[in-house]
Structures are given as C-alpha cells and as structure tokens.
Structure 1
Amino acid sequence: MWKTALKPRWIAGFVFAIAVSGVFVLLSQWQFGRSTQPEVPTNPATEQVRPLTDTLQPGEFFHGTDADQMVSAQGSYDPAKQLLVPGRLHDGKTGYWVVSAFAVDGAPALTGAAASPQTWIPVARGWVAEPGDAPAPPSGTLELTGRLLPSEAPVPGTAPKPGEATAVSVAELINYWEVSSYPGFVAATAEVANGVDVSAAAVQGELLPLDIGPQPPAQQINWLNLFYSLEWVVFAGFALFIWWRLVKDDYHRDLEESLEDGDEDNQHPEHNQQKVQP
C-alpha cells in the first residue's frame, strides 16, 4: 500500500490534506479561545467612588456585588489598633501588609453585649518589607478612599506572632481589637488630611501602596464555542481519513487489475507458450 501512497498524485493529496487539517486545527484553537473569554468586561461602576455608609452596612452579609467597589469614608485611625499580615507579595518580594482599624464617622452602631460605641473597618494601608518599617497611621480626621474587599479567611492551625494576624480576616481582627466592624476591609488608595494626601501612594517611604485593581469577572465557558472547537478537530482528522481512504481504494483497484491480468493469462495459456518459444 505504501507503493500506492508514494504515487505523485497521492503525495500531492497528502500535502493538501495536511494543509486543510492545519486550517481546521487553527479554527479549533480560535473557537476554544472564544469559549473561555469573559463575556462581560470589568464593571466600570466599581471605579466610581461611593460613600462606604451607602454601600455596605455593618452586621450584614457582604454581597458579592459590593466587592471591588471604590468607596470613601471620613473618620480616624487608632494607632493602638494596627497589625501586620505576613506572607504578602509586592513586586516579587515577600513582606507584610499594614492593617489599621479605621473608625467610620456616621456609621451605624451595632447593638449587643460585645458591641463597641463606634463602628470600625480594617484598612490595608500598604506593604512593608520588614515589621520595623511599618509607620503609625496618620492622626486626626481623614478622608479615606480605597477599594472595598471581602474579608479573608483566617489561616487555620497557625498561631500568629505578637502584633501580627494570619489574614485580613474581620473575624480574627475584631478579637484583637475588640471593636464592632464592617464585614469587609478597604485597601487604601488615598488618605487625605487637611487637603493633603498622606497615604503610601502619595508619600515616599518604607510603606508602599498596594495598587489592588478590580478583579476580572470569572471566566464563563461558552459550550457552543467549545463544541465547535471539538468539531473542527474532528474535521481535521476526517481530512486525513479521506486521503487515506482514497489511497486505499486506489491500492485495491491496482490489486484487482493485477488479479484480472493474471486470470486472463491463465485462460489463454497458448499466449504464454508462444512467448517462451525460441
């Protein structure tokens, strides 16, 4: 059969089948890429700064629609309520997030035996390479702006060092600070005092800004495009199958013709005798 496949026309047919299969594979890759693309871009509404008190309520569940929202709030820090969260990366280096408690002016006060007179929210103010590099939070009344994020889960089975927390977990932080808190935290982008931004993004120092952008929406699988991508792979294989089938049919035709020629020789043996006479 290889003899048949090496005929010039079938070599040319094989090259053509490979080219067609290559086109089908490229189409399959294109359809597969489309099947995993996010259908909805990042919501631009999250970049419009909204008051924290209008966006999230203390004591309520943190809704997924509130995540990544840029918010603002007036209030003040308590320098005694500041912790470090280790194991955080910044430009490929491992260091600490500096997290401070921010008392929100005008926030609803929670009720209950363990409730504090003021309602607070944890603020991730920036990143430092070493614990000793963490500065005290700015004093006085501030206009805080940042990205609202859901509370992280505490790391189980880990005992944090003094002055540290395992994560930016509201459940963990309120036990250290003994305050009422919002169910999320803010990654600060600006801290304005008396008209001057004193945040890590505006003041050079050991405290570096976090620069946390909006998270892209979860990728959704487009099953129709995924089906099309598999279909193109089948077509690619079918193109090679057709070439192989045509070669096989040609081989069988050659085989049948050679057998027919042999039968004709057997039916007229005198022709063979005449051929061998001197």
Structure 2
Amino acid sequence: MWKTALKPRWIAGLVFAIVVSGVFVLLSQWQFGRSVQPEVPVSPATEETKALTETLEPGHFFPGSVSDQMVSAEGTYDPAKQVLVPGRLKDGKTGYWVVSAFAVKGAPVLTGVAASPQTWIPVARGWVSDPEDAVAPPPGTVDLTGRLIPSESPLPETAPEAGHASAVSVAELINYWDVSSYPGFVAATAEMVDGTDVSAAAVSGDLKPLNIGPQPPAQKVNWLNLFYSLEWVVFAGFALFIWWRLVKDDYRRGLEEDLDDDAHDDAPPTPPSSATSEQLQQKVKP
C-alpha cells in the first residue's frame, strides 16, 4: 500500500489534505478563543470618581454593580486601628498589605447594640515587604480617593498573630476594631492632607502603592463556539481520513487488476468447435 501512497498524485493529495486540516485546526483555535472571551468589556464608568456615601450603604450587602468603582471620602484615620495582611504579592515578592480603619465623615450611622458612633471603612493603604516598614496613617482630616472592592473572606481555621489579619475581611476586622463598617474596603490611590498627597503613590518610602486596576468581568463559556471548535477538529481529521480512504481504494483496484491479469494468463486454450474440425477434415481428403 505504501507504493500506492507514494504515487505523485497521492503525495500531492496528502499535501492538500494537510493544508486543509491545518486551516481547520486554526479555525478551531479561533472558535475556542471566542468561547472564553468576556462578553462585556471593562466599564469606563468605574474610573469616574464618585462619593463613597452616595455609592455604598453601610449595613447592607455589597452590590456587584459598584465593585471596582473609584470613590472619594473625607474622614480621619485611627492609628490604633491598623493591621497587616500577609501573603500579598507585588513585583514577584511576598509581603503585607497595610490596612487602616478610616472614619467616614457624613456616613450614615448604624443602630444597634454593637453599633459604633461613627461608620468606618477599611483602607488598604499600601504594601510593605517587612512588618517593621509599616508606617502609621496620616493624621488629621484626609481626603481619600481609591478603588472600592468587595470584602474578602477570612481564611478558615487561621488564628492571625496580634496586629495581623488573615484577609481584608470586614467581618474579621470589625471584631478587631469594634466598629461599624461599610461592607467593603478601599484600595487607596490618593490621600490628600491640606492639599498635599501623602499616599504611598506620591511619597517615596518603604510603603509601596497597590496599583489595583479595574478587574475584567468574569469569563463565561460560550458553549456554541466551543462546539464549533470541536467540530473543526473533527473536520481536520476527516480530511486526512478521506485521503487515506482514496489511497486504499486505489490500492484495492490495483490488486483486482493484477488478479484479473493473472487469471487470464493461466486460463487453458479454447478447443476448436465441431464445425471447424469438419472443415479441416474435408480439406485433408484427397
């Protein structure tokens, strides 16, 4: 069968089948890429800074519509209410987020037995590689700007050491600080005090800015495109199968022709008919 496959026309057919299969594989990759692309791009509205008090309400669930929203708020930090969250990466290094409690001016005050006189929000002010590098938050009234992020979940079966937290979890931090809080936290981008930005992004030092950008929407699988990608793979295999099938049929036809030729060569000579024999006898009579 290899002799049949090595005929010039079948070699050309194989090259054609490989080219067609390659095109089908590329189409499969394209369809697969489309099957996992986010359908909705990052909204530019999240980059427009809005007042925190008009964006999120304390005492309620965090709505997904305000996630990643840039917000601003006026208030004060409490240097006694600051924790370090370990296991945070920056530029390939593992360090700590410095998270401070920020009392929001003009925020609604919650009611209840455990409610505090002010409403607070955790602020991730920056990143440090060593706990000793964590500095106290700026004193006085601060005009805060940052990205609003949903509360993280605390790590189960984890008992952080003093001055540390397992995550930027509002449920965990309000127990440390004994305050009422918004259901999320802010990753600071600017901290203005008397018209001067004193945040980690503006002041060089051991405290590094987080630089958290807007997160793209969760990817959804488009099952129709995924089905098409699998279909193109089947077509690629079918193109090669057709070539193999044609070669096999040509090989079988060659075998049949060889058998027919052999059968014709081995057949006995045909005896003369009776009429022909009588004619020969008459010719030999004197």
Report the TM-score, using the length of structure 1 for normalisation. Answer: 0.94
* Letter of the 1:60 counterpart: H
Match of 1:166 in 2: 166
Find the aligned partners of 1:118 and 1:84 in 2 and give their Cα distance: 23
Counterpart CA distance in 1 for 2:115 and 2:12 is: 83
| Partner deviation per Cα, 1:171-194 (whole Å, 9 max, x = no partner) | 111111100000100000000111
Displacement of 1:165 in angstroms is: 0.8
Q: Which residue of 2 aligns with 1:156?
A: 156
Q: CA deviation at 1:224?
A: 2.2
Deviation larger for 232-241 or 100-109: 232-241
Q: Which moved more, 1:253-262 or 1:111-120?
A: 253-262
- The runs of 5 or more residues in structure 1 that have no matched partner are 271-278
Q: Number of residue pairs matched? A: 270
Task: Determine helix, strand or coil for the equivalent of 1:83.
Answer: strand
% identical equivalent positions:
78
Q: Give the Cα separation in 2 of the matches to 1:269 and 1:137.
A: 115
Q: CA deviation at 1:263?
A: 2.1
Secondary structure in structure 2 of the residue aligned to 1:71: strand
Which segment drifts farther, 217-226 or 129-138? 217-226
Tell me which residue corresponds to 1:231: 231
1:222-243 CA-to-partner distances (Å, cap 9, x unmatched) read 2222222112111111111111
The aligned counterpart of 1:42 is: 42
> Are 1:220 and 2:203 an aligned pair?
no
Structure 2 unaligned regions, length at least 5: 271-286
Report the counterpart of residue 257 of structure 2 in structure 1: 257
CA distance in 1, matches of 2:81, 2:161: 15
User: Using the alignment, how far apart are the partners of 1:202 and 1:236 within structure 2?
Assistant: 57
Question: Could you tell me how far 1:24 is from its partner in structure 2?
Answer: 1.1
The aligned counterpart of 1:72 is: 72
CA deviation map 1:17-69 (0-9, x unaligned): 11111111111111111111111110111111111011110000011111101
CA deviation vs aligned residue, 1:118-150 (integer Å, no higher than 9, x gap)? 000000000111111111100111110000011
In 1: Cα distance, 2:268 partner to 2:191 partner: 108
Aligned equivalents of 1:233, 1:90: Cα separation in 2: 41
When the two chains are superposed, the root-mean-square deviation of aligned CA atoms in Å is: 1.1
Letter in structure 2 aligned against 1:23: V
Q: Which residue of 2 aligns with 1:276?
A: none
2 CA distance for matches of 1:107 and 1:173?
Answer: 18
Aligned to 1:20: 20
Matched residue, 1:128: 128
Distance 2:87 2:222 in 1: 36
Residue in structure 1 matched with residue 201 of structure 2 by the alignment: 201
Name the stretch that deviates more: 260-269 or 184-193: 260-269
Aligned to 1:273: none
1:28 counterpart letter in structure 2: S
**Highest CA radius of gyration, 1 or 2?**
2
- Cα distance between partner residues in 2 of 1:262 and 1:90: 81
Deviates more, 1:82-91 or 1:116-125: 82-91
Tell me which stretches of 4 or more aligned residues in structure 1 moved more than 6 Å. Answer: none
Q: Following TM superposition, by how much is the alpha carbon of 1:269 offset from its aligned partner in structure 2, in angstroms?
A: 4.6
